[in-house]
């Protein structure tokens, strides 16, 4: 069954991820001065960053709603993910790896060392050639762990306890450092409670979503209080560390958990009320969410900075400009995806 509210959610999630990656190029938030940024900028930063958790919640929801309810077949599931996720990833990330390889050898008068080749291989397997593509090697492990999540779905009890205990572990271990180490296991442990929460809400949507809507104001207040806490005490960023190092409590995953619940309730209400313009906008974003995810980093990390440097422009956008830039990046990514797919279709005729 098609769930319009989840489509809204997916469209909004990809837009939030793009905006979260646009802070640097927009000039809205100065990473060089960090905690010296104004309070309201740290507040916006805390609200927007960490959007991956929203995507993972949706993935968990869809894992149950689509793949499990249709009759889960692990082989077909992995074949589908290989075709639709890992093959596109291998194509999309290749230019970034080549660019980074060129930058590395150019510093050594274009003499190629074994370390340079090894670095390129690690860039691919770690997914760190671009800001967001670390998600793909992690998602491979998430998909391979599907039989474990099937067991979770079929448990008759203890589901909420597993989510709670998983969150306790997550806030202690934090997200992994984005370097060349392929630390996908830490990501799997960190994000699994959110994935399980998505599964749990899919299984119990008929009873949980009405309850969610009754308490939507309180959920929103708790989310906003967590965001204010993060900005006030300079915990507004995603927390990255080695798994077994002690570095306090990670607040971001709890904040994003409440944001997931808040948005789920809000988008369900919007679905009930109906809005044609809203439908069209978020349908497009949801339809192209994966192409946007794959392509947007090239605009943010390479294309826009290249032209800004040539034109000697130093962007200092306000909050409105930040979100407009995010919309431009999304539209540009959609245009590239649409043009490329049409070109490939013509070649194959």
pLDDT, block means (10 residues), the chain with 349 residues = 86 94 90 88 94 94 93 92 89 91 82 86 89 90 95 93 96 88 89 96 92 92 96 90 84 96 92 74 88 91 91 90 94 90 66
- Among residues 76, 9, 28, the alpha carbon closest in space to that of 265 is found at 9
The reported pLDDT for the residue numbered 178 is 82
Q: Is 341 helix (H, G, I), strand (E, B) or coil?
A: helix
The reported pLDDT for the residue numbered 344 is 64
In this structure, the number of other CB atoms found within 10 A of the CB of residue 57 comes to 28
The reported pLDDT for the residue numbered 159 is 94
In this structure, the number of other CB atoms found within 10 A of the CB of residue 102 comes to 10
Q: How far apart are CA 315 and CA 325, in angstroms?
A: 11
The reported pLDDT for the residue numbered 103 is 86
Give the predicted TM-score (pTM) of the model. Answer: 0.92
- Among residues 263, 147, 280, 131, the alpha carbon closest in space to that of 198 is found at 263
Q: How far apart are CA 93 and CA 295, in angstroms?
A: 9
Q: Is 240 helix (H, G, I), strand (E, B) or coil?
A: strand
Q: What is the DSSP string of 70-82?
A: TT--HHHHHHHHI
């Amino acid at each position: 069954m098609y769930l319009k509210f989840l489509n809204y959610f997916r469209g909004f999630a990809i837009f939030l991820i793009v905006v979260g990656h646009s802070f640097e190029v927009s000039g809205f938030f100065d990473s060089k001065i960090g905690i010296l940024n104004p309070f309201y900028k740290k507040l916006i930063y805390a609200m927007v960053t960490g959007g991956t958790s929203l995507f993972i919640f949706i993935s968990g929801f869809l894992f149950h709603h689509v793949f499990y309810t249709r009759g889960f077949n692990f082989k077909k599931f992995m074949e589908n993910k290989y075709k639709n996720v890992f093959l596109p990833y291998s194509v999309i990330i290749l230019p970034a790896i080549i660019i980074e390889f060129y930058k590395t050898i150019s510093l050594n008068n274009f003499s190629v060392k074994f370390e340079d080749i090894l670095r390129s291989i690690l860039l691919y397997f770690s997914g760190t050639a671009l800001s967001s593509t670390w998600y793909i090697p992690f998602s491979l492990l998430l998909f391979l762990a599907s039989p474990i999540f099937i067991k979770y779905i079929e448990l008759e009890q203890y589901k909420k306890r597993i989510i709670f205990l998983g969150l306790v572990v997550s806030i202690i271990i934090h997200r992994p450092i984005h370097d060349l180490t392929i630390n996908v296991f830490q990501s799997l442990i960190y994000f699994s409670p959110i994935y399980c929460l998505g599964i749990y809400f899919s299984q119990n949507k008929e009873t949980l979503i009405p309850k969610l809507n009754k308490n939507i104001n309180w959920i929103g207040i708790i989310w906003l209080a967590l965001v204010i806490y993060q900005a006030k005490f300079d915990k507004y960023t995603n927390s990255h560390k080695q798994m077994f190092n002690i570095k306090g409590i990670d607040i971001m995953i709890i904040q994003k958990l409440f944001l997931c619940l808040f948005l789920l309730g809000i988008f369900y209400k919007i679905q009930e009320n109906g809005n044609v313009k809203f439908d069209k906008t978020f349908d497009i974003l949801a339809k192209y969410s994966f192409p946007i995810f794959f392509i947007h980093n090239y605009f943010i990390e390479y294309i826009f900075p290249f032209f800004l440097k040539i034109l000697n422009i130093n962007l200092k956008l306000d909050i409105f400009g930040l979100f407009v830039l995010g919309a431009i990046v999304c539209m540009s990514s959609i245009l590239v995806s649409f043009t490329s797919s049409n070109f490939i279709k013509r070649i194959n005729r």
